[in-house]
Amino acid sequence: MNDLRPPAEDRPVAPGIPEATVARLPLYLRALTALGETGLRTVSSEQLATAAGVNSAKLRKDLSYLGSYGTRGVGYDVEYLRYQIAREIGLNEDWAVVIIGIGNLGQALSNYGGFRSRGFRIVSLVDGDPARVGEQHGDLVIESMSDLDRIVKENDISIGVIATPGDAAQGVADRLVSAGVTSILNFAPAVLTVPSGIDVRKVDLSIELQILAYHEQRKRLPGEVRS
């Protein structure tokens, strides 16, 4: 509803690292991990950029926000740069995560190996349907929404993942925030309103398909020039 937050320039802002760069650091991290597993010790910006799917100028610019971790004429030490990026993102810490809404998507997320391997630990599954409470999923048991406050506090959870239907999402977000969660990853098709200081990121599966459909449609238009 009303955005009561102060103007953007008065809110905490990362010193120096642009948002677009932050969003690419995980790509570099993954590429470095893969390259490291091949035994490569040193990598040039050209090689690393190719592995990450960006161009080398952008990569060097991005890395320059973190510091000078390369050696001119040589390149970057794979393991050292990997460590520096992981530290910058915060992956040397362990992050406790709760997933709310254990439908197909919630179950898929709870089984997703890419989370645990990067320091994210799913410590609780919660569902608003009392009939689902008690269900075993892997080594977790679905818990009740009424226990959310205790769950967040006991596990020091700062990240909540919402995988509910759209109309339940705002209520769940409110509950998460009041329990103390300060970062939310939202898979529900809904616009969330949260207090200042709470970060929300949204993943909308159908929006991605719609963007593809737009471009697909344009490919089919005759007489269009595509770049």
Partner DNA sequence: TAGATTGTTAATCGATTAACAATC
State the Cα–Cα distance between residues 77 and 149, nearest whole angstrom: 44
State the Cα–Cα distance between residues 145 and 165, nearest whole angstrom: 15
On the CB side of 175, CA atoms within 13 Å amount to 23
Q: Which does 39 bind (CB under 5 to 8 A by kind): DNA, a second copy, none?
A: none
Structure tokens at 156: 């020091």
Q: At closest approach, how far in Å is the CB of 50 from a second copy?
A: 7
**Was 197 annotated as part of a binding site?**
no
**Nearer CB in complex with DNA: 21/110:** 21
**Was 105 annotated as part of a binding site?**
yes
Q: Who's near 47: CB < 8 A, 6+ residues apart?
A: 35, 75
Q: At closest approach, how far in Å is the CB of 178 from a second copy?
A: 17
Q: Smallest Cα–Cα separation from 142: which of 150, 152, 133?
A: 133
**Was 103 annotated as part of a binding site?**
yes
Site string for DNA, 21-60 (x = CB under 7 A): x---------------------xxxx-------xxxxx-x
111 binds DNA (CB under 7 A): no
**Residue among 19, 37, 139, 224 that touches DNA (CB under 7 A):** 19
20 binds a second copy (CB under 8 A): no
Q: Smallest Cα–Cα separation from 82: which of 16, 21, 26?
A: 26
Q: Output the CA torsion 84→90→92→96 (10° steps).
A: -170
Q: Which does 37 bind (CB under 5 to 8 A by kind): DNA, a second copy, none?
A: none
Q: Which does 104 bind (CB under 5 to 8 A by kind): DNA, a second copy, none?
A: a second copy
61-80: which residues touch DNA (CB under 7 A)?
61, 63-64, 68-76
Question: What is the phi/psi pair of residue 166, to 5°?
Answer: -55, -40
Residue 36 Cα distances to 5, 17, 56, 68, angstroms = 43, 25, 19, 20
Annotated binding site for NAD(+): 101-106
What does the binding site for DNA look like in residue numbers (CB under 7 A)?
Answer: 8, 18-21, 43-46, 54-58, 60-61, 63-64, 68-76
